[in-house]
């Protein structure tokens, strides 16, 4: 399967909203001193550090070597490992598994959930936030139009994205012995930095998989997406994306 290569410095510099707007999910996790917690898809480690500051012993894992290298540089006293979320190796080791803005990048959710259940101790909890059903619907339509125009096919717009409903995700969790106790699907309109250039920066970060197929046509593709998206998503001099988030908490029975 084709995979993303992440620009970790761009991620930190231009897309801090990914973790800054998700600190409420850390509150939902409610980490306690002495707990062992796995941060699944930790990125550059900012929320890993937030959890560790509450006194927990945290291990951050991410499939991206670039992200892990940046996390280690930023937080040298914390533990980070390169690890595929579909192949979690831990067995009954953690009081909690936490994840923010990572699991919608993995279109094999059952493999992830199976590993989460395996990694948790009895009565351990799984607290996660990810893109939910309908996430960036208007932007997806604009990307799909450009993909069609440039010969990639409309399905390329959402390749490697997974945006489940509450019912879909809860059913998978409960299939693997995780009892869902809290779940919410909600809108989170998100304003991008950089004014006019904000959407291009976002696309270069999060749709690089598509752009890398276009060679010298990348700029033309980006302008097409902007033209299609502008009427609904460009407001008061900035781009505002129609994010929807799924936040969920489940306990291992």
The Cα angle at residue 195 between residues 150 and 69, in degrees rounded to 5:
75
What would be the CATH architecture of the domain defined by 8-252? 3-Layer(aba) Sandwich (3.40)
Q: Is the pLDDT of residue 16 over 50?
A: no
Residue 141 is predicted with a pLDDT of 97
Q: 68-90, pLDDT tens digit by residue?
A: 999 999 999 999 999 999 999 99
- DSSP-derived letter for residue 193 is S
Q: Is the pLDDT of residue 44 over 80?
A: yes
Percent of the chain with pLDDT over 90: 88
pLDDT band (50, 70, 90) for residue 14:
very low
Could you tell me how far CA 232 lies from the centroid of its own chain? 24
pLDDT band (50, 70, 90) for residue 8:
very low
Residue 149 is predicted with a pLDDT of 97
Quick one: tokens of 78?
Answer: 């914390």
Residue 193 is predicted with a pLDDT of 87
Q: How many CA atoms are closer than 13 Å to the CA of 38, on its beta-carbon side?
A: 28
- What residue spans of 194-253 are helical by DSSP H? 198-206, 208-211, 218-233
Residue 4 is predicted with a pLDDT of 54
Residue 194 is predicted with a pLDDT of 87
Residue 197 CA: distances (Å) to CA of 10, 14, 48, 210, 240: 14, 11, 30, 18, 12
Q: Is the pLDDT of residue 17 over 70?
A: no
Element (H, E) at 78: none
Residue 81 is predicted with a pLDDT of 97
Q: 189-237, pLDDT tens digit by residue?
A: 999 988 999 999 999 999 999 999 998 999 999 999 999 999 999 999 9
If one counts every other C-beta atom within 10 angstroms of the C-beta of residue 183, the result is 17
Residue whose pair of structure tokens reads 């909203």 in the numeric block: 17
The Cα angle at residue 171 between residues 161 and 35, in degrees rounded to 5:
85
- DSSP-derived letter for residue 170 is H
Q: 126-163, pLDDT tens digit by residue?
A: 999 999 999 999 999 999 999 999 999 999 999 999 99
Contacts of 40 (CB under 8 A, 6+ apart): 61, 85, 88, 97, 98, 99, 102, 103, 112, 116, 128
Quick one: tokens of 106?
Answer: 């993995």
What secondary structure does DSSP assign to 149-167, as a single string? HTTS-GGGGGTT-----HH
For all residues of the chain together, what is the average pLDDT?
Answer: 92
Give the span between the Cα atoms of 213 and 215, in whole angstroms. Answer: 6
Residue 201 is predicted with a pLDDT of 93
Packing angle, helices 218-233 and 198-206, rounded to 10: 120
Give the residue extent of every domain in the chain: 8-252
- DSSP-derived letter for residue 45 is S
């Amino acid at each position: 399967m084709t995979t993303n290569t992440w620009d970790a410095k761009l991620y930190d510099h231009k897309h801090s909203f990914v973790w800054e707007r998700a600190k409420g999910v850390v509150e939902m996790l409610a980490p306690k001193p002495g707990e062992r917690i796995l941060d699944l898809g930790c990125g550059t480690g900012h929320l890993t550090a937030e959890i560790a500051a509450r006194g927990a012993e945290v291990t951050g894992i991410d499939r991206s070597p670039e992200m892990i290298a940046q996390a280690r540089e930023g937080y040298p006293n914390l533990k980070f490992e390169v690890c595929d979320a579909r192949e979690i190796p831990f067995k009954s080791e953690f009081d909690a598994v936490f994840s923010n803005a990572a699991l919608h990048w993995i279109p094999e959710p059952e493999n992830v959930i199976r590993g989460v259940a395996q990694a948790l101790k009895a009565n351990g909890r799984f607290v996660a936030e990810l893109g939910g059903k309908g996430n960036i619907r208007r932007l997806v339509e604009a990307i799909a139009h450009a993909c069609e125009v440039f010969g990639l096919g409309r399905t390329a717009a959402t390749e490697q994205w997974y945006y489940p409903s509450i019912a879909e995700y809860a059913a998978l969790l409960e299939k693997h012995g995780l009892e869902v106790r809290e779940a919410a699907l909600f809108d989170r309109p998100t304003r991008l930095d950089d004014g006019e250039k904000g959407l291009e920066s976002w696309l270069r970060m999060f749709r690089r998989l598509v752009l890398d197929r276009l060679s010298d046509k990348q700029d033309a593709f980006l302008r097409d997406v902007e033209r299609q998206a502008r009427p609904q998503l460009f407001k008061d001099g900035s781009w505002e994306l129609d994010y929807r988030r799924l936040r969920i908490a489940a306990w291992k029975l």
